[in-house]
Structure 1
Amino acid sequence: MQQFWHVYHVWRGALLMSRGTTLAVLLGMLLLWASAYAQVDIVGGITYNTYAVDWSGVDEFKSGPGFFGGVQYWINDHVGVGGQVEYLSTTEAHDTSSSARLTSLSFLATAVYHASFSDTIFVRPFVGMGVYTSALHVESGATTVSFEAAPAFGAKLGVQVGTDISSKVSLTGLVGYRVVSPFREKETNQKVDGLNFSGLTIGGGVGYRF
């Protein structure tokens, strides 16, 4: 319990995430999506992630699940741009009277290159850049408290390998690496030591083409 309330004091200056920042990122995504090319993919999937969180005695914060969803507009047969929202979570840490976990929500502009190796198999290197949020959730008895740091810039780079199972639907596997800049307290702008969502990501997804 003591380790969680130590984290509480580190985060006590954090309020709510800047809505203006979020709206600016979403507007940027919409501008990227404004493509005249007819082919549009709705994409989504699940991931398992590692994190570089370095808080003594809390190994559960070093990995956890995630999921993502987004839209991808194809400029031509090979290049697509779009936007993606991704949710990341650590596994839950427990002691005798409380539990805690970290979460992150990201808003990313994305770009992908499509290369076909047969009629059904394709490889797609991808990159995403945008804003990552972070939050610590602590539950003690019937009480739940959450603390958020200021949003931070981040990016991820990776590759998808997939297959078309029909003219509309594709399945993919992915592997990548995520780099997120240090998070800071909103009021003091001081770095939150040990809070780092950088790490590997692996997973699978599905795409539907309109």
Structure 2
Amino acid sequence: MARKPKKGTQAELDLPERNWGGARKGAGRKPKGPRPLGDRPAVPHLRRVEIERRHPVHVTVRMMPEVWSLRTNRAWNVLSRALLAVRETGARLTHYSVQGNHLHLILEVEHRRNLARAMRSLSIRVAKGLNQMMRRSGRVVADRYHAAALRTPTQVRNAIRYVLSNTRKHMLERGEKLEPVTADAYAAGPATHVPRTMRLRPSALLLEPRTWLLKDGWRRAQA
């Protein structure tokens, strides 16, 4: 017969070892949204950087994989109305490039809240318009937009070239042959900003830049 433990002593029990506390692999809040391009993670939900009115902003917006190509006339009709409505929020669209599954924009905004209102307006209009066009419902914009404030002439010059030449970049990635000059009906910017390798049409969606960096400052990076 097993003896009872003495009074005042603790019986030793065979309990499983606890592993609570401490960092664990895979723990924590997961990134919001799907991974629209392969294994690229969604844009993390971090506090936006502060934006000053003198700094233009380069914004990238990506679509869900099932959304049809944006580089079609029907999709452009939706996008152009949404881009034009951005100015109602007080934001100024100065450059854009529409690719198959994402947009590149350069905007002038007063502050971070102004940018948030502009992107909310754009996302809602694009989602409603494209869903109606595709006769579907559900998510259209893949994740949170990515915004980078452009604070130096070099950053502005590089952003202008990247946005307006984005079609050539993707053609090279696909292994397509490039002509000396590429025509692109889905990109636009001020005439003095257009790279020599691109032929773009004027766009009524754009407003003339006001910031010094976009008007004159970017030229100082070309020396």
State the TM-score, normalizing by the size of structure 2: 0.25
Q: Mark the structure with the bigger radius of gyration.
A: 2
State the TM-score, normalizing by the size of structure 1: 0.26
Larger strand fraction of residues: 1
